[in-house]
């Protein structure tokens, strides 16, 4: 699902007001579990305060699958290592771009980490890169990312057409307060930039049926 900061901030405020009352073990556990379904960093603070004040035990929360997935151990030992998915090279208005999915990005933001994507391009069969760059993301964001390679590159990239190229992409998670640095597994794709190829679909798409070049299909053409 998408992330709505205004809605989640309002929900966190209501949770905090509910917790201002005297401790109640049943209610506090339910509200603690509720924070595990929110990506707002404020929800993590509420959950930590409940644990520090011993109103909810960490083991009780971790027994809930959703809270286990949102935990420090799950993120730092598993999700932060995940590679990027569905990486595609495209051109939009003549500008080279990369779009991909980062499945761990919402959780990284929820735990207060900033993400920097590091990329480089080199010829297939060579380890010498011809272009490299980075792209910085702060806060909680959905996992769908598009990077303009020209804006994020070091210098001006000059990508050749008709040559097999390798695109390499990794994510570096950095926590500004805890000074932690976590690196994802590097993902790679092979691609070729075709001269004159139209990467964008027409504004008014149409359906065209192409039949095989056989006698039996001639009446259908």
Per-residue pLDDT tens for 138-185?
989 988 999 999 999 998 888 898 899 999 999 999 998 888 999 999
For domain 79-192, which CATH number applies: 2.30.30.40, 2.60.40.10, 2.40.100.10, 3.30.750.24? 2.60.40.10
* Pair 117, 167: CB distance under 8 Å: no
Per-residue pLDDT tens for 81-135?
999 999 999 988 888 999 999 999 999 999 999 999 999 999 998 888 999 999 9
pTM equals 0.82
Locate CATH 2.60.40.10 in the chain: 79-192
Range in 71-80, 150-159, 199-208 the model is least confident about? 199-208
CA distance 112 to 6: 17
CA distance 130 to 37: 43
């Amino acid at each position: 699902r998408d992330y709505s900061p205004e809605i989640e901030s309002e929900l966190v405020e209501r949770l905090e007001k509910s917790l201002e009352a005297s401790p109640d073990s049943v209610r506090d556990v339910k509200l603690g579990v509720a924070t595990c379904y929110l990506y707002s960093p404020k929800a993590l603070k509420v959950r930590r305060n409940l644990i520090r004040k011993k109103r909810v035990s960490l083991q009780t929360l971790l027994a809930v699958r959703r809270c286990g997935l949102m935990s420090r151990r799950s993120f730092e030992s598993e999700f932060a290592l995940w590679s990027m998915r569905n990486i595609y090279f495209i051109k939009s208005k003549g500008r080279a771009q990369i779009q991909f999915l980062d499945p761990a990005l919402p959780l990284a933001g929820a735990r207060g980490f900033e993400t920097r994507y590091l990329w480089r391009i080199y010829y297939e069969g060579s380890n010498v890169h011809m272009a490299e760059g980075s792209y910085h993301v702060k806060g909680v964001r959905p996992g769908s990312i598009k990077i303009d390679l020209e804006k994020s590159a070091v210098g001006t990239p000059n990508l050749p057409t008709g040559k097999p190229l390798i695109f390499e992409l990794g994510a570096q998670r950095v926590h500004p307060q805890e000074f932690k640095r976590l690196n994802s597994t590097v993902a790679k794709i092979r691609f070729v930039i075709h001269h004159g190829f139209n990467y964008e679909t027409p504004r008014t798409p149409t359906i065209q049926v192409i039949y095989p070049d056989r006698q039996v299909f001639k009446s259908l053409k």
